[in-house]
Structure 1
Amino acid sequence: MSAQAHSLVMLRRNFKHLARNPTSVFNAVLMPVVVMLMFVYMLGDAFDVGVNYVDYATPGLMLLAVCYGLGATATAVSSDMTKGIINRFKVMDVSRGAVLTGHVVASLLTNLVAIAAIIGVAFLLGFDPSAGFLDWLGVLGMVVLLGFAAGWLTVALGLAAKSVETAGLAAVPLIMLPFFSSAIAPAEKMGPGLRQFAEYQPFTPVIETLRGLLEGAPSAGTAIIAIAWCVGIALVGYLWARSTFKKRA
């Protein structure tokens, strides 16, 4: 079998594991929807952002949807490394790269489902984007690139964790990082120190790029910064994951 065929087998395996673990499905898909309802439906009137709050918050909540599924990915990777399944794959002559790629692609597809749910709920809450067809293609491309980068970094974190329990905790900083960005409130409304952190952390340009695309007025400068961050994170995650996998496998 080719490496692509091995990757498809690993992808099917990962989806079966997800189906048997409703908690991970809740965290990846339903929890972002709950957060959206909490911020938009319950607390939206408390934020003065100059526009309908659901229009402002949706891009950040799309990014949050990506992050909420990462804990399950890190845990699944760590479980593979600690329960001996990798040794069985070696006997079966399964491509080592396929094991990692399967986790990344499963994470990415789960992210797309979660983001579709977020956008659907956003429309029910009054979301009114001005994006055209090309803008929506840009949103899809940005989301896929972000999910790919976050997936490789999470796989690397799962491989580096010493146990399944610590693997789940390793993804917590990535889940919390969107709350310290422009996802919920504009960075300029934050206090000193936090404002600068929000402005220069990697998720803020991604959110602002999505926000600009959905408003039909994308910024090339912000998009370049967002793409550069995603490519850099993906490269670091990939190299770290491959190096750690070779050492532990």
Structure 2
Amino acid sequence: MGDAKWIWALRDGLTMSKRSLMHIFRDVESLLMAIALPVSIMLLFVYVFGGAIQTGTDYVNYVVPGVIITCAGFGSSLISVSVTKDMSGGLFERFRSMPLQPSSLLVGHVVGGYLRNMIATLAVFIVALLIGFRPEAGLLEWLGVIGILTLYMISINWLFVVLGLLTKNVETAGAFTFPMLFLPYLSSAFVPTNTMPVWLDAFSKHQPMTPLIEALRGLLIGTPIDYNLWLTILWFSGLLVLSYIAATLLFRRRKNE
């Protein structure tokens, strides 16, 4: 009986993931925006601000990890709007009458968001290589980069699912994502934290984006990683577990309303 339940859940999750994947390639404008925005940010910082910022390395090498995280955050924020649309529209009403596993609709959004983010991330890497980005990572380091990015993307995808479940309209859902999207700008993504005011430097060093970016930077270009890798795993593993539990409980509550 237990095995049948897991098979049922997996089947429903795959079905909803296919649905989300189809939406990604049908909604070409959103996909292009998810790619164009981070690429534009990277070009802006490299060519407009890069000459005035001293980082001890070529600025393009310094800024790419932060751009990737910003890119993933923007792509994931679209999930909140999609979840809110599903929950407040006729689609959810149809699902309520079906023997649907509570998390399968949410899993579809998370998987779809992850694939959209990976496409956008690949585009950022390609453009970065064209403008001078030169990573020093070997095979193990690249595997580490993929692993960290996957953990980050999946965890914030579930967080944005929670935000989508908490809101009743798409405007509010979009507004709720802003604080998470703003965090990379208050980290070491674009400038070293020691150039910030003391109070902001302290905040930057103790929020989750800075260890994440420093871990990625260390894996990609060989800067010291120190304890940043373990902090990243702790931060985003905890976020993943809490967000998944919250999303499942909220979905069940909405399903029973």
**TM-score interval, normalised by the smaller of the two chains:** over 0.9
* Pairing partner for 1:148 from 151, 154, 173: 154
**1:206-217 matched pairs, under 5 angstroms:** 206-216=212-222
Matches within 5 A, 1:141-220: 141-216=147-222, 219=225
Kept after mapping to 1: 8 A contact 2:76/2:153: no
CA displacement at 1:220 relative to structure 2 = 5.0
Q: For residues 49 and 153 of structure 2, what CA distance do their matches in structure 1 show?
A: 28
**Structure 1 gaps, min length 5:** none
Shift of 1:18: 2.8
The CA distance in 2 between the partners of 1:96 and 1:243, in whole Å, is: 9
**Displacement of 1:8:** 1.7
> Which residue of structure 1 aligns with residue 4 of structure 2?
none
Aligned to 1:82: 88
Give the AA of the match of 1:160. Answer: L
Partners of 2:74 and 2:181 within 8 A in 1: yes
What is the rounded CA distance, in whole Å, between the counterparts of 1:83 and 1:200 in structure 2? 40
Partner of 1:54: 60
Instruction: Please identify, of 8-17 and 58-67, the stretch whose mean Cα deviation from structure 2 is larger.
Output: 8-17
Alignment of 1:1-249 (within 5 A): 2-216=8-222, 219=225, 221-249=227-255
- Aligned-pair RMSD on alpha carbons? 1.5
The normalised TM-score by structure 1 is 0.95
Secondary structure (helix, strand or coil) at the match of 2:134 reads coil
Partner SS, residue 69 of structure 1? helix
1:217 Cα deviation from its structure 2 partner:
5.2
* Contact kept in structure 2, 1:149 and 1:231, CA below 8 Å: yes
CA contact (8 A) 2:102 2:248 kept: no
* Letter in structure 1 aligned against 2:11: A
Structure 1: distance between partners of 2:55 and 2:208: 21
Equivalent residue pairs, number? 249
Query: Structure 1 pair 217/46, CA: closer, same or farther in 2 (3 Å)?
Result: closer
Residues 1:176 and 1:210: Cα distance change in structure 2 (over 3 Å)? same
CA distance in 2, matches of 1:71, 1:63: 12
Counterpart of 1:209 in structure 2: which amino acid? A
Unpaired runs of 5+ residues, structure 2, are 1-6
TM-score normalised over the length of structure 2: 0.92
Q: Which 4+ stretches in 1 moved above 4 angstroms?
A: none
